């Protein structure tokens, strides 16, 4: 018998000055209040069956693929008007606005060099 686990993740857009928000359902909030921190070394995993070879073959990596061309994370301050304009331009081109900003900066830097 195989079971499946469903993870539901909520993402909330927030302003940069706001603290991150974790969203729980009402039962989740109730359960979270009653949970105490336990180190991994004290967790009993004995009732969890080992994954079969077939299950391991079907697993896939989650997240960004590792590449030799990793970009560096930076913080930059832009006026709300400019950021809104860039987001609209990116939406028209069907791409994420960060990608558009990267492309525009790359073109400007190569022209200036």
Instruction: Give per-residue pLDDT as tens, 82-111.
Output: 999 999 999 999 999 999 999 999 999 999
Q: pLDDT class for 5, splitting at 50, 70, 90?
A: low
Contacts of 83 (CB under 8 A, 6+ apart): 97
Instruction: Answer whether residue 10 shows pLDDT above 80.
Output: no
Decide: 87 and 99 in contact? Cβ < 8 Å. Answer: no
Sign of CA dihedral 40, 42, 48, 52: positive
Let me know if 25 is exposed, middle or buried by CB neighbors in 10 A (0-12, 13-18, 19+). exposed
Report the alpha-carbon distance of residue 41 to residue 46 in Å, rounded.
13
pTM of the complete model: 0.45
Instruction: Answer whether residue 30 shows pLDDT above 90.
Output: no
Mean pLDDT over each residue of the chain, to the nearest integer: 80
Q: What does the pLDDT read at residue 3? A: 56
Most distant CA atoms of the chain, gap in Å: 63
Q: What is the DSSP letter of 40?
A: G
């Amino acid at each position: 018998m195989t079971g499946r686990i469903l993870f539901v993740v909520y993402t909330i857009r927030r302003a940069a000055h706001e603290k991150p928000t974790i969203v729980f359902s009402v039962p989740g909030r109730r359960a979270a209040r009653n949970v105490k921190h336990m180190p991994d070394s004290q967790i009993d995993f004995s009732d969890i069956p080992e994954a079969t070879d077939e299950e391991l073959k079907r697993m896939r990596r989650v997240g960004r693929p590792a590449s030799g061309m990793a970009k560096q994370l930076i913080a930059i301050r832009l006026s709300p008007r400019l950021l809104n304009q860039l987001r609209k331009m990116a939406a028209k081109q069907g791409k994420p606005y960060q990608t558009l900003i990267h492309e525009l900066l790359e073109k400007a830097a190569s022209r200036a060099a």
